[in-house]
Amino acid sequence: MNIKLAAYMDEVCDDPDKSGELLTSKNITNVCLRRAWCRDISSMPDNAIGILGGILTKYKLSPILLHTDIGCVEPEKLSSEEPKLIRAMQICKFLKCKTICIGFGASSVKPSGEYVQQWLAIASRLSINYDMIPLLEPNTNCYYDKPASLAIVLNKFKRVSLLFDPALFVIRSKTNPFIKFWSLLKSRVSFIDVHDFKSGDSAKPAGFGDAQLDILVADAIVSNFSGWFCLEPGLGRRYGEATTKEETFLRAFDAWEALLQRIQLPKIL
């Protein structure tokens, strides 16, 4: 089957032009956008977005995801995020990016499910207007931090998909991401972040930490996962003797290919 690999441009280099050069040298032509020139893309002015679009065109890169912090606020404040979401979707439309990752309310002891569901309704409506897919990234700091409760809510919003970052569960709650999340919600996942973390240590290349990526990737393939694996090497951290983002990315890319060999799957196409 086709294994679809993308990479976060800002994890390769802060300069998107240098990122594009390195990515194309590894035959990676699909990218996730988040920051460029150390700035949040979702709030950039038009001239900066135009320059970024030119770089994507120059290297023939296709943006598949815009990752934002929009919606990562207290549930009661979610509705005030709508103007930011509209602006981000306009940017996506210009860059021909079909998926946007948003927050869905910070963890709260108050019963705030009504606010979160109102926000998801807003995101769903806008996504139809802009022909996009809204993406949520569950973690232990969001309002619906339990997979079972999130599954119930997602049944009401069929247009919403999920981004799964198994390393975040290791970093923030030291839980088993495969059992805790993947086994219950994998049918709604369309993006998987590929990086790893060793409890009590630091960020690691895929397969060298506690995120059980070998098992996860193998199960995803067997389960006919048709989404994207997204290289997110170190969340700003370096591996071993790597001193730059570029060196860290190259180690992450090699670790990904080694992981595929260990589970006896073909390299990316």
Structural domains in the chain, CATH included, are 4-262 (3.20.20.150)
Q: Calculate the dihedral angle through the C-alpha atoms of 67, 52, 39, 169, rounding to the nearest 10 degrees.
A: 20
pLDDT for res 241: 66
Segment 157-163 mean pLDDT = 96
- How is residue 47 written in tokens? 């001239």
Of the chain, the percentage scoring pLDDT greater than 70 comes to 93
Distance CA 240, CA 173 (A): 24
Strand partners, 163: 191
- pLDDT, one tens digit per residue, over 241-262 is 667 899 999 999 999 999 999 8
Per-residue pLDDT tens for 56-90?
999 999 999 999 999 999 999 999 999 999 999 99
Amino acid at 175: T
